[in-house]
Amino acid sequence: MNRKIIELTLSILTMVFAFISWWSVARIFDVSGASSWTSSMISFIFYLVLICLDIALFTDIVLLELLLTGSLVLGVVFTGSLWHLLGAIIGSYFLFLSSRKIRRDFKLNVKIDFQKSLRAGKAMMILAISLVISVQYFSIVNRLDGQILIPRMAIGGISSKIALKILSLTDQNFKSLENANITVDDFILQTQKNQIAKQNLQTSDSSVSQMVEQELDKQNISPADREQLRAQAADKINNLNSQINSDEQALILKGGRDQLSTLVGRNVQGSENVSNVMAELVSKKIENTFTPSVTGQQRSSSFAGVLAGILFFTVLSIGSLLSFIFFGLSWLIFLLLTKFKFIEIKTITVEKEIIL
């Protein structure tokens, strides 16, 4: 009786979390601003925990495979795509292979080793989920008439460092900012001063030197004093040119903020950390790069296929890294079920053939 209750409970929970998981994927691309994978990852972890428990605890293999197939096909309600349906059926096949490997390992073990048996089918299980997620993404993007929504890169932290590393390769002004907490206004003024210093250096090498030499010739300055006077004249001119009054500074800051606002796509105040703004700029450029300029079916099919392939390998890698979480949670629930006598582990005597 307990086993029937457990199987019914697991069936309901599996379908509920499958629905939430596929809905969360659809929401990322259908709803403006819903660009984070965090909620999807959490829901899929619980979904995979339930799949692991289903495989371990169901007694009827036919009911188990119907449940697994139904949980994968459930996502088709968000796309209505034959491609998605086909992907879910293929994913079900890989999930069946995973299930059979896990159940076979349970039967072959002398003692129950829950996590070892789950690892026997890990590759096929993650492959199945990654495939269906990618096909769902392809189906959603393929039907969009407007702009393709791509999850944005998180602002701050490692993204800021990566952005500055990329930008420092193209502009020397960014190298000094990699380990500094500098605002946008500070960066604009620093960049302006560097440009002025560079221009003054070029001027001193050409027109300034000519002007100084002409003046020295007029005054008949001795060769011994010429070098000192040249240096003094160059310093005065450079100091004069490097002075920026308050009005000029305000104009420079306004112009710099306006340029950054145009590039980032929002109003930049100037007090923001420049590394965060540059990370946001890189994120915006990445999004624009992957947004095709053509429209219609030709636009969607070509880019959706490429991005779905990238997403497949990304989810496959992340799933492998996170497998210890959903394997660990399913093992913990299994231990609790045995502790509270909802399920029992018994030792039985079996006959088997051996070669003598």
User: Looking up tokens 């509920």, which residue turns up?
Assistant: 16
Which residues sit opposite 183 in a β-bridge? 273
Alpha helices in the chain (DSSP H): 2-30, 38-57, 61-73, 82-108, 114-120, 122-142, 158-168, 184-205, 207-218, 223-242, 246-264, 274-289, 296-339
User: Looking up tokens 């779905």, which residue turns up?
Assistant: 308
**pLDDT on residue 174:** 57
Compare 356 and 158 and report the one with higher pLDDT: 356
Q: Which of these, 205, 188, 345, 165, lies nearest to 270 by C-alpha position?
A: 188
Query: Tell me: the pLDDT tens digits for 298-351?
Result: 444 556 677 778 788 888 888 888 899 999 999 999 999 999 888 888 888 877
Compare 128 and 194 and report the one with higher pLDDT: 128
User: Looking up tokens 């929401």, which residue turns up?
Assistant: 27
pLDDT at 84 over 80: yes
- Among 19-33, 159-173, 342-356, whose mean pLDDT is lowest? 159-173
pLDDT at 194 over 80: no
Query: Tell me: the pLDDT tens digits for 167-182?
Result: 555 555 555 555 556 7
3-class SS of residue 273 = strand
CA–CA separation, 26 vs 45, rounded Å? Answer: 17
pLDDT at 157 over 60: no
Cβ-based burial of 129 (10 A; exposed 0-12, middle 13-18, buried ≥19): buried
DSSP state, residue 178 = T
**pLDDT on residue 186:** 79
- Whether residue 242 contacts residue 236, with contact meaning beta carbons closer than 8 Å, is answered with no
What is the three-state SS of 302-349?
Answer: HHHHHHHHHHHHHHHHHHHHHHHHHHHHHHHHHHHHHHCCCCCCCCCC
Query: Residue 47 phi/psi, 5° resolution?
Result: -60, -45
- Whether residue 247 contacts residue 123, with contact meaning beta carbons closer than 8 Å, is answered with no
Tokens encoding 55: 């495989």
pLDDT at 142 over 50: yes
- Among 62-76, 133-147, 304-318, whose mean pLDDT is lowest? 133-147
Compare 178 and 16 and report the one with higher pLDDT: 16
**pLDDT on residue 158:** 44
Share of the chain above pLDDT 70, in %: 62
Residue 155 zone, left/alpha/beta (φ > 0; ψ -120 to 50; rest): beta
Average pLDDT, the chain: 76
**pLDDT on residue 295:** 43
User: Looking up tokens 């899929």, which residue turns up?
Assistant: 44
Query: Tell me: the pLDDT tens digits for 233-255?
Result: 666 655 655 555 555 677 777 88
pLDDT at 297 over 70: no
The pTM (predicted TM-score) of the whole model is 0.60
- Among 61-75, 90-104, 269-283, 284-298, whose mean pLDDT is lowest? 284-298
CA–CA separation, 17 vs 9, rounded Å? Answer: 12
3-class SS of residue 74 = helix
pLDDT at 17 over 80: yes
CA–CA separation, 68 vs 240, rounded Å? Answer: 77
- Among 15-19, 273-277, 307-311, whose mean pLDDT is lowest? 273-277
Compare 214 and 61 and report the one with higher pLDDT: 61
pLDDT at 137 over 90: no
Share of the chain above pLDDT 90, in %: 32
Chain centroid to CA 284: 13
pLDDT at 105 over 90: yes
Compare 270 and 33 and report the one with higher pLDDT: 270
What is the three-state SS of 219-270?
Answer: CCCCHHHHHHHHHHHHHHHHHHHHCCCHHHHHHHHHHHHHHHHHHHCCCCCC
pLDDT at 39 over 50: yes
Which residues sit opposite 273 in a β-bridge? 183
Mean of the pLDDT values across residues 199-206?
A: 51
**pLDDT on residue 146:** 47
**CA terminus-to-terminus distance, the chain:** 43
**pLDDT on residue 168:** 57
Cβ-based burial of 50 (10 A; exposed 0-12, middle 13-18, buried ≥19): buried
Compare 280 and 209 and report the one with higher pLDDT: 280
pLDDT at 56 over 90: yes
- Among 56-65, 68-77, 107-116, 323-332, whose mean pLDDT is lowest? 107-116
